[in-house]
Structure 1
C-alpha cells in the first residue's frame, strides 16, 4: 500500500469537501460498509437506516452519514483515507459521552483533542470508555459461576459419589465426593482479558490513567489463570448474567466488538494499516438525550419509560414500535424521537417519514393516556431564537383544536460552541421541555 493516501473528508451529515472525481471511490467505500468497525455503546435498536455516506440527488453531492471515524483502504492501486468528523467538533462529543457515562474526560481530553489522526481519537475514546465501564461493573468482583469438582480424601466434601469411591476406598482408603465451587466465568474472563491485551497493544491504553475499580478488576482477571483458548460467536451469544453481575454486560459487549475488529480491505490482511473505527453519532445523541431528560425530569416526578410495542399481533403486517424517549408521570406521557440529522430549519430538513413516525407514536399513546407533548429533537445548526421557537411549536396536535397535545421540533442550539455555552443551551432546552407540563 502506498504511503501518502488521498484524503476525502467531511463532517457528519454534510457534503464531502473534496469529492469531485471520487464518486467511484465513495461507492466502493459504501459497498464495503459491513467491513467497518462500528462500535456501539448500548442496545440501540435503530440501525436499519445506518449509512456511512449517500448521494443527494437534489444537489448532486455526496454526503457523509451519521457515523464518525476514519478508514484507510486501497482502491484500484491507489491508497485512500476517508475521515468523517463530528460536525459540532469534539467538544460536543466529549460533553455527550461525559453525560452518558457520568465521567470526566479531563484527564485525556487534551491528548485526544491535539491528535489529527481521527482513528487515534476513536481508539482512545474506546479505551477510555472500556476502562470506565469495567470500573463501574466491578461492584461484586468478576462474574462467577458454579462449577462441580471432585474431591478424593478421607472426608466428604459436598455429596458422596458412591460409584467412583469403590476402587479408591479399597486401594487408598479414600472416598470421592462431588462439590460445588464458585469460579470465575471463563467465557467472560477470556473476552475481557483478550480485549484488554488488544487495547494495550493497539489502542494506547497505557497512556490513560486507570481508576482503582478498573485496576482491581484487571488484577482479578489476571489472577484467574483463565486459559487463552479460541472464542466463538456462539460462546459470546450464550452468555447469561444473573442480576448481581448484569452490570458487566456493557463492557463485555464492547470487548467483543474490540475482539471482532475487522479489516476494511477484502483481502483481510491483518498486518496492513487499513483498520477502520467508527462511532454512531445518532446512537450517542439518543442516549445523551435520554440521560439529560431523565435526570432533569426526575425532580418533577417523571420517569423514563422503555417501551417495545407489538402492533397487529398475528397479522402479516404486524410491526414493532420502539419510541426513542417516553417520559411518564401517572397517566401523563411525553413522546419524543431523537434525530441526529442536520437541522437548519430549511424545508427539506423536516423529514416527511420522521413526521409520520412521531405522530404514529403519539396516536398510540393517546388511546390510554394523556399525551402532554411530543415531537422531534435535533442538534440544531442554526440559532434557536424565540421567533424560531414559535415557528416550530404547535399548541395542539396537527394545529387543530381536537387535542391539547403540544407538538414541536426542538433541540439544543450548538451555534456558539464552548463548554460553558453548551451547558447553557442544554439548560435552555430542558427548561423549554419542562414548561410543557404546565397547563
Structure 2
C-alpha cells in the first residue's frame, strides 16, 4: 500500500490549493452518481460530519454497480493496456466468439480513446499503472474487510476464498510464470501455481479441459446488489439524502467555484460537488471544462440458481475472458468487453458466449430458470488509472471516475481518499497518480 509521506503532502497541496473547507455553512456536498464509488464518497464525507446529498439519474445502485461479478480483487494489479495487447485484440476482433468487440461507428471520441489506449500498451506505462492500481486495490481490500468485520456492510455474501485464473491453453498457462515473477519483483505480491491435478482436486466443478490455474488468495467476492443495499442503509443512518431519477444538467458557478447544480428536479445548492458518474463521465466534460477520457466498455452477466455441482471458488477463465462468481444464493457468469457507445441492447450472441464458456469449463454450468440477464457500461479510462481529485478549472468540483472494471474493488479507498483531500487531511494514498489534471 502507498502510505502518506512528505511528497504526498506536497502533491496534496498542489491538488487542493483552491479548496474550501467541507461543511462550512449549511450547503451540502453534492455527489452526482449513486453507484458504488459515489456511495463510498458520500459515506466517508458523512463520517466527517458533512451534510451530503447523492443524486442519480436512475435508481441508486442499479447501473454498473448492480450486475458485475462482485470481485474485490487486489490481484488485478496489471492493466489491460500492456505489451502485445493491441496485436492479440486484433487477432480476435472479427471472431464471432471473441470476448472483445468494437461496434464500428462514427464516434471520434471512441477512436481517439482507442488510439490513446493503444499508445499506452508498453512495459513502462503498464508498470506505472500497476503501481497506481495496486495502492487503491490493497487499501480498498483492507477497508472492506474492516467494514465486514464490524458489521457495517451487513450480509452481502462476502467470501474470502481467493480468485482462480484458470487456463485451458497450456502455453498461456506456462507463460504466466513470467507475469507472476514481474508481480513479485515490482509489487511484492504473488500467485500460487496450481497444476491440473491440484486444480481439479481443489475445484471438482471443473472439467479436465482446465490444464492449470494461478491462484490469488487475497481476493474476495460478494453479491453487488446486496452490497449496494448495505451502502444505502449506511448512508441513510448518516442522514445522507438520496435523490433518484434526478438528472444533472449544469453547474452554477462564480469565478472558479461552483455554488449550485441544476437538475431536472430543480436547483440544489452545493458547498462542493463530486462527480462519481462512471461511464457517463465523458458526457459532462464540457460542463466541467475538463478532459475526461472515459469510454463505456459494455459487459454482460447471467445470474442463475446454484447448480448441483457448484464451483467453490470464483474463477476467471483467462483464455476466454469470462468470469464466474459463486455465492451462497446464486451463480453469476460475466464479462466480455464491447465498445459500442451507450448501446442499450441485450445482445443474445454475447450472452451465448458466456453460457458456452461456462459449459466448456464446468461439469454442471447452467440452472434454469435464469434469475437475471444483464448488461452494464464500465467506465474505461484510457490509461486504466482512475481520475480522482479536483477538477483543474474549479476549486470545489471533484471527480471520482474512470475505474474501468474495478469500481467495486477500488470504491472504499477512493471514497476515503477523496474525503481526506476535501477536508484538508493528508490522504492515506498519494493522490498524484490519479489527478484529473494529467489529461
TM range (shorter): under 0.3
Q: What is the TM-score when the length of structure 2 is the normalising length?
A: 0.24
TM-score scaled by structure 1?
A: 0.24
Bigger CA radius of gyration: 1
- Report the structure, 1 or 2, having the larger helix content: 1
Higher relative contact order (CA 8 A, sep 6+): 2
